[in-house]
Amino acid sequence: MLWTTPPIADTGAVPEGNVDVVKQLMLAYQRADFPTALGILDPEVRVYPRSEEPGVDDVYVGHDGVFQYLGNWLGQWDEYETDPVSFEDAPDDQVLVVMTERGHMKQSEITLNQEFTHSFKVKGGTVTEWRMYDSNEQGRDAVGLG
């Protein structure tokens, strides 16, 4: 299994707040429902990987950029899964998400089991920005919750 997320409750409700939008995005990915995910991602969404992540661009733009980034990241792993731990509203239409990420690369014997923090900026019901941080503290500071 390359990328999985434990079940997020699907209430069938239309997203009302920014946290709901981000949860719906993650649910769409969990189900490999890419049309829904792309409908939640702004066509010009900007993705900013962690500063310590090797071999990535500073920013990826648009739906093609999201697929390029995810393809590069997920292509490294023989197994990879995420487990959202918490969702928190933040100033300026942002949502802070803490996720446990687990993965294994058989070729290099690297195993990952670590929490990472992500922020998503939501405007008009679509995600316009996705940022990844090296620590929860860094993420909280970046979105004004520090």
The residue behind tokens 């079940």 is: 7
More confident residue, 2 or 34: 34
Domain boundaries, given as residue ranges, for the chain: 18-141
pTM to 2 decimal places:
0.86
Q: Which CATH number fits domain 18-141: 1.10.10.60, 1.10.1040.10, 3.10.450.50, 3.40.50.300?
A: 3.10.450.50
Measured distance between the N- and C-terminal CA atoms of the chain, rounded to whole angstroms: 35
**Number of CB atoms found within 10 A of residue 109's CB:** 7
- Nearest to residue 61, comparing CAs of 42, 40, 41, 47? 47
Is pLDDT at 14 greater than 50 in this prediction? no
Is pLDDT at 81 greater than 90 in this prediction? no
Mean pLDDT (the chain) is 87
